[in-house]
Amino acid sequence: MGKKRNKPMERVCDGCTACCDGWVRITIDGQEAWPGHPCPHSTGSGCAIYENRPDDPCRQFWCGWMLPNSPLPDWIKPDEAKVMVLFAKLTWQSLPVDVALPVGKRIPPRALNWLKAFAEREMRPLIWAECIEENGELQKEQLLYAWGPPAFQQAVQQWQAEGRKLW
């Protein structure tokens, strides 16, 4: 008899609503969500229209922590580690580029250091964001940083200058 394979445990949101809370800038039914301004359908503990949520962006959205066989450790669940990872949102020189968004003003050092080490080990350049706060309110625009070779960092600066959407 062959070796029994362990099926990876399926992760569940289980109270995490980071994607609905505006940490990912999205537009739903013509209404924008951004840090400090959650989706208009968010109840704070889930989605009021979950069964009828739109295909774009809701049903098409994949939190990196929730992906089957995600390389992210359990502790990087967005509501706990305060970071949401979006895998392979772009490519640069045929390499997948991952994006990390803070669930809060900025990504905590433990999570950011883990993501940087993962990016280096897996040769996956990383873009991460930090929220801008003015008069106690988080703004739509965020500061962006790039982790990877100097040429990648320059490319990200150029993409920003061109107004290219990075996720």
pTM: 0.89
Residue 31: strand pairing partners: 28
Return the sign of the alpha-carbon dihedral for residues 138, 142, 143, 145: positive
Residue 92: strand pairing partners: 95
97: how many CB neighbours lie within 10 A of its CB? 25
Q: What is the pLDDT of residue 8?
A: 54
Q: E strand or H helix at 114, and its extent?
A: helix 109-122
30: how many CB neighbours lie within 10 A of its CB? 6
In whole angstroms, what is the distance from residue 43 CA to residue 34 CA?
15
pLDDT in single tens digits along all 167 residues of the chain:
444 444 456 888 888 889 888 898 889 889 999 898 999 999 888 889 989 989 988 888 889 999 999 999 999 999 999 999 999 999 999 999 999 999 999 999 999 999 999 999 999 999 999 999 999 999 988 999 999 999 999 999 999 999 888 87
Beta-strand pair 126-134/95-102: parallel
Q: What is the pLDDT of residue 10?
A: 80
Contact 69, 89 (CB under 8 A): no
In whole angstroms, what is the distance from residue 28 CA to residue 8 CA?
32
In whole angstroms, what is the distance from residue 47 CA to residue 17 CA?
8
Q: What is the pLDDT of residue 92?
A: 97
Contact 97, 128 (CB under 8 A): no
